[in-house]
Structure 1
Amino acid sequence: MATHGKKYQEAVKQLDGTQAYHPKEAIELARKMAHSRFDETVELHLRMGLDPRNASQQVRGVTLLPHGLGKQVRVLVFAQGEAERIAGQAGADFVGSDDLVKKIEDGWLEFDTAIAIPDMMSKVSKLGKILGRKGLMPNPKSGTVVAATDLPRVISDARKGRVEFRLDRTAIIHVPIGKVSFDDDKLMENLTAVVEAVLKAKPSGA
């Protein structure tokens, strides 16, 4: 059985497992407990009390974090022709079609979000098992399959801190809301943006 280091043990002493914390208190505590040498990610986990097997109780959506994620987001776009030119001018890090599909099939995954134009989905669909496991598969429901004219907006949103959320098989939603280097107010505003988006996406009566 793995054992935790001294820094972890000291951090855990600050947490009262029997107490329910207000979100602002939880954020303050999460920042105090951070002990790694790198800038740790702060995540929000929402227990929804829904049945993930019930199609009428699915929750999925996207939102923009007002203060971003605190990291550089590498954007990949599956496009060709005029759409490829538009994506390149809009600042996408990687743009292509068959070449990118082949590269990903060979194991390359050095990007954080993937966007596609509709005409590319017949080729991108071959990557379903690879990208799906990583949460990177372009999908119209998450706003990552868009017309060429919408690429500049979607690429810009991805860089600003666009996050996707969905109910998992244990009825929990997991979303990053920033870094421990953010101040409490910025993390709280990011958290609020996610909660509001989740409540809006939650089916009525669920």
Structure 2
Amino acid sequence: MKTFSKRFKKLKSLIEENKSYSYDEAIKLVKNMGTTQFLESVEAHISLNLDPKFSNQQLRTHLNLPNGTGKQVKIAVLTESDTNLELTKNGANIVGFEDLLDEIGKGILNFDILLTTPQYMPKLAKFGKILGPKGLMPSPKSGTVTTNLKDAVLEFKGGKVEYRADKSGIVHLNFGKINFSESQLKENLLAVYSSITKNKPTGVKGKYFKSFYICTTMSPSLLIDLSSFKP
């Protein structure tokens, strides 16, 4: 039987059993739940009525969080162009080609996002089993395959995030840090809901959202009343 710490039990006592909270109420409550000694992220976990084994029920895209995630993302760029210095000045942490491919082949993935152009995608195809499970394989839908690498680096550094539904149809997404203001977290959360709604796969039948929870990295989760997102 799973046991919980006194800290976790105390936080859980703040949540009313079987209650769904408006996103406004939930943000106020979750702001009081970051009680660890490190700066916790604030997360959304959204269960959707998807079966990703069907191509028309897959969800993988990106959105621009108005206030960023609060995390310093490490960006790698796979390119042979002579723009290495420019890309580095604009925030790219790693820029390379054969050397970067060698590291990926060895399973050395010292980055959070991998960007490249369409012409180099065939070079990455053989690394699908390494990059895929980590969600690091570049894709046009996620904005990580592009002909404008400079702008892509700037956007991802500025708060653009990629997300996808896992094999169970659940989206896991960080949308800020516990030290964000309530208004910053609300703006980001509304952007998450709006993006998932707008990118509803064509194959979805019936109800799209199953459940929508938010929490901090180390806290119990709060169920969101989906109707609170609607005007």
TM-score over 0.5 for the pair: yes
Aligned partner of 1:51 in structure 2 is 51
Output one character per residue of 1:86-116: Cα deviation in whole Å (capped at 9) or x when no partner.
5334331100011011112223222111101
Does residue 1:40 correspond to 2:40, yes or no?
Answer: yes
Aligned partner of 2:139 in structure 1 is 139
Deviates more, 1:77-86 or 1:155-164: 77-86
Distance 1:120 1:50 in 2: 31
Within the candidate set 182, 185, 189, 1:184 is matched to 182
Distance 2:51 2:101 in 1: 35
Q: Structure 1 residue 191: deviation in Å? A: 0.8
Distance 1:76 1:53 in 2: 29
Does residue 1:7 correspond to 2:7, yes or no?
Answer: yes
Deviates more, 1:53-62 or 1:126-135: 53-62
Within the candidate set 153, 156, 160, 1:155 is matched to 153
Preserved contact between residue 86 and residue 151 of structure 1 (Cα < 8 Å):
no
Aligned partner of 2:66 in structure 1 is 66
Residue identity opposite 2:115 in structure 1? I
- TM-score, length-normalised on structure 2? 0.81
Instruction: Note the aligned Cα RMSD (angstroms).
Output: 1.9
Structure 2 segments unaligned to the other structure (5+ residues): 205-231
Q: Structure 1 residue 85: deviation in Å? A: 4.9
Residue identity opposite 1:129 in structure 2? K
The aligned length equals 204
Distance 1:108 1:4 in 2: 34
Within the candidate set 164, 173, 180, 1:166 is matched to 164
Distance 1:188 1:117 in 2: 34
Preserved contact between residue 56 and residue 202 of structure 2 (Cα < 8 Å):
no
Where 2:188 maps in the other structure, the secondary structure is: helix
Preserved contact between residue 63 and residue 197 of structure 1 (Cα < 8 Å):
yes
Residue identity opposite 2:45 in structure 1? H
Distance 2:99 2:53 in 1: 37
Structure 1 segments unaligned to the other structure (5+ residues): none
Preserved contact between residue 97 and residue 120 of structure 1 (Cα < 8 Å):
no
Higher normalized helix content (fraction of residues) = 1
Which structure is higher in RCO with an 8 Å CA cutoff and minimum separation 6?
2
Distance 2:127 2:55 in 1: 25
Distance 2:97 2:17 in 1: 50
Q: Structure 1 residue 205: deviation in Å? A: 7.7
Residue identity opposite 2:162 in structure 1? E
Where 1:45 maps in the other structure, the secondary structure is: strand
Preserved contact between residue 62 and residue 141 of structure 2 (Cα < 8 Å):
no
Within the candidate set 167, 191, 194, 1:193 is matched to 191
- TM-score, length-normalised on structure 1? 0.90
